[in-house]
Amino acid sequence: MNDQAIILFAHGARDPDWAAPFGIIQQQLQAARPQVQVMLAFQDFMTPTLEAAVAQSAAQGAKRIVLVPLFMAQGGHLKQDLPLLVGKIRQQHPQLELQVMPAIGDAPEILRAITDWVLRGASYT
């Protein structure tokens, strides 16, 4: 039974193309974990909201959700807004187990991947 979900939570933007990289990550995760629901959710400008994505996951049988904030770093969005939103979601869905991952910039391996990418891309004479 499909009782696990991953929700990728991104900032959102007015430009619809903005979401493309997050869609690629979603597809890669879905390919690696075909039995898990993998969804996108957005804070602003784009839909679904995080609350709507959680409600949809729960309606489809999710009992455990991993929430991945695809933000570069910990600022007001992750330190203040997200905990409030997660608190509200926990009240709405007390039966759900909710794991919140850190920001991308908290992962040393991703910072290293960015550094290496800059070193490869920045061509020097």
Percent helix, percent strand, percent coil in the chain, to nearest 5:
50, 20, 35
| Binding residue for a copy of itself, selected from 9, 36, 50, 85, defined by CB under 8 A | 36
Q: Residue 4: which residues within 8 A CB-CB, separation 6 or more?
A: 33, 35, 36, 37, 62, 63, 64, 65, 66
Residue 91 vs 120, nearer CB to a copy of itself: 120
Does residue number 4 form part of the binding site for a copy of itself (CB under 8 A)? yes
| Binding residue for a copy of itself, selected from 44, 47, 75, 88, defined by CB under 8 A | 75
Asked if residue 83 lies in contact with residue 17, where contact means CB atoms within 8 angstroms, the answer is no
Q: Which stretch binds a copy of itself (CB under 8 A): 50-58, 86-94, 115-123?
A: 115-123
Handedness of CA 5, 69, 53, 27 (dihedral sign): negative
Give the H or E element holding residue 29.
Answer: helix 20-32
Least distance CB 101 / a copy of itself (angstroms)? 5
Does residue number 61 form part of the binding site for a copy of itself (CB under 8 A)? no
The two tokens of residue 90 are 């926990």
Please name the amino acid found at residue 1: M
Residue with tokens 């009782």: 3
Does residue number 37 form part of the binding site for a copy of itself (CB under 8 A)? no
Does residue number 1 form part of the binding site for a copy of itself (CB under 8 A)? no
Residue 84 vs 118, nearer CB to a copy of itself: 118
Binding to a copy of itself in span 15-34, by CB under 8 A? 15, 17-22, 24-25, 28-29, 32-33
